[in-house]
Structure 1
């Protein structure tokens, strides 16, 4: 999804000084007039440039806000993103959408934030959500099934994200139960929460945190070996609005397929995209460490592994050492 504008932004961010129009034209293989037109388009998007004769252009300021109208204009959905709420800053999008759910907002309501000051992942772990650098989003669903199928929805979400990232030229895998990986580093996390009775779901919320435009230097020191971003992997600035609209469009299609066809198609897709599938990992259950080979995902969301004695074991919860830097 690389565009001339995103490549232009990248060049300015690499130089951090004046760049001549001729140099930009040569590097982008376009005319100097096309360079000027692209800069004017970027100024409409909120970028601020300075230009000086004989020196060229310099990027002074980048926009940090996301345009909800741009997203909604690109939506082909019936329900997802209708309505869509955007906040420059929230404690967490999950907290906001729980409030909206309790107020009776419909299936498909989306909350998107420029920054989360108290973003969270599984087991109440902190999620680093830098301002304007990622897709911090929660989706409200009121699904027509029992609470026992909620784990399947997390896996449907994961396979959808992997497909969307492929559309942007990024190859990713799914680490059980809810992380998206590029290589051995996490790029996205999914948090599923719900309010339910014994046999029916009142509502379910899906929190999705995707690292988009963070440079490695901007990441917390303790995450540099564990986390990555699309920018780090592709050396390209991505438009967050495009990713959001692509994801919501695809997700509504996949939800319809899930409701009609069940979990089996997604089970097969997870199998094809599973992180460490067919490889040995270190597992600890009841404080007892053992070796296991990742085999498959089950319909109830369990991970089936092969132990050292050749016996299949189902994991519903476990401490796993996935690689040298990643426990879960």
Structure 2
């Protein structure tokens, strides 16, 4: 769908939502959306095909009766309260993965805060090349383009920054006790609900752009998971005993993420480090870190100023920069 059609769809849906249970006339829609009555009818038919129930009544106009749980731009933008994040969105019903699409858009010059989002990923990717299971219409599968003016050495801190922001947003909306596992997983009762994947392109020790990928199990039920993932993952719906509107979660995440990110750029990593430790799931426990140089076991006691995980072995403190973690 081209940019003009997207704009009309977004404006049309926003107008229907604005009127709530009341009818809005075709004439008013035509004036507000700035398109013909025939074009309005065509767009309403397209919305109906997407699952929207729109009632039409002669001499009264149109009324929105039911809206499906979609994560399309016309659903997100009316509820979005950010300055930049999510203002530009590319949406697909199904993609292999949002990450390469966001990389492509970033190389084309996408503005900071541009968002790629889908209803389903068929080849979702996690850290270290792992597959991320992304069933349709049940989770949040999205990638955000960032352009931070930071050296490459600080780039790993963006994963920790994002984990704090997503945790705070999800906790606020759901009330669930969501915790962070270093470096990029969010957990409920030790089971994974979210993974964060940070990929970047840099030149001359400066970050050119970052693609921040997020996969969140929202309304996923156990029967969606392959056998090898059962018992390891959970979802907000399973933990909370209810389903959640994905758009409400997305807009909360983007708002929180924008604020935390701007604070990181202004004040550095230290405030992020403090918040991360507040939400950490593993501090005070003995963990095993599988590093490129071998296995290290110790008590997790916090993050150092760079974002490395600190393990204590007796009187010795060992920084862990990259590894798989077993608690």
TM over 0.5: yes
Q: Distance in 2 between matches of 1:282 and 1:102?
A: 38
SS at match of 1:119: strand
Q: CA deviation at 1:67?
A: 3.3
Q: CA deviation at 1:163?
A: 0.5
Partner of 1:103 in structure 2? 108
Q: CA deviation at 1:66?
A: 2.5
Partner of 2:237 in structure 1? 231
2:132 is the alignment partner of 1:127: yes
Which blocks of at least 5 consecutive residues in structure 1 are unaligned? 1-36, 38-42, 49-60, 323-328
More strand per residue = 2
Q: CA deviation at 1:227?
A: 0.6
CA RMSD of aligned residues (A): 2.2
Q: Which digits, 9 at most, give the CA deviation of each residue in 1:20-76, with x for residues without a partner?
A: xxxxxxxxxxxxxxxxx9xxxxx999378xxxxxxxxxxxx9946423222111112
SS at match of 2:95: coil
2:307 is the alignment partner of 1:310: no
Q: Which digits, 9 at most, give the CA deviation of each residue in 1:137-168, with x for residues without a partner?
A: 00001111111111111111000111011112
Q: Distance in 1 between matches of 2:319 and 2:91?
A: 40
Q: Which digits, 9 at most, give the CA deviation of each residue in 1:224-276, with x for residues without a partner?
A: 11111001101111111111111111111111111111111110011111121
Partner of 1:70 in structure 2? 75
Q: CA deviation at 1:320?
A: 2.9
Match among 140, 145, 148 for residue 140 of structure 1: 145
Partners of 2:51 and 2:68 within 8 A in 1: yes
2:291 is the alignment partner of 1:276: no
Q: Distance in 1 between matches of 2:50 and 2:292?
A: 54
TM-score (norm 2): 0.77
Partners of 1:139 and 1:207 within 8 A in 2: yes
SS at match of 2:300: strand
Q: Distance in 2 between matches of 1:257 and 1:287?
A: 34
Partner of 1:154 in structure 2? 159
Q: Which digits, 9 at most, give the CA deviation of each residue in 1:286-313, with x for residues without a partner?
A: 6755531001112322110111x33111
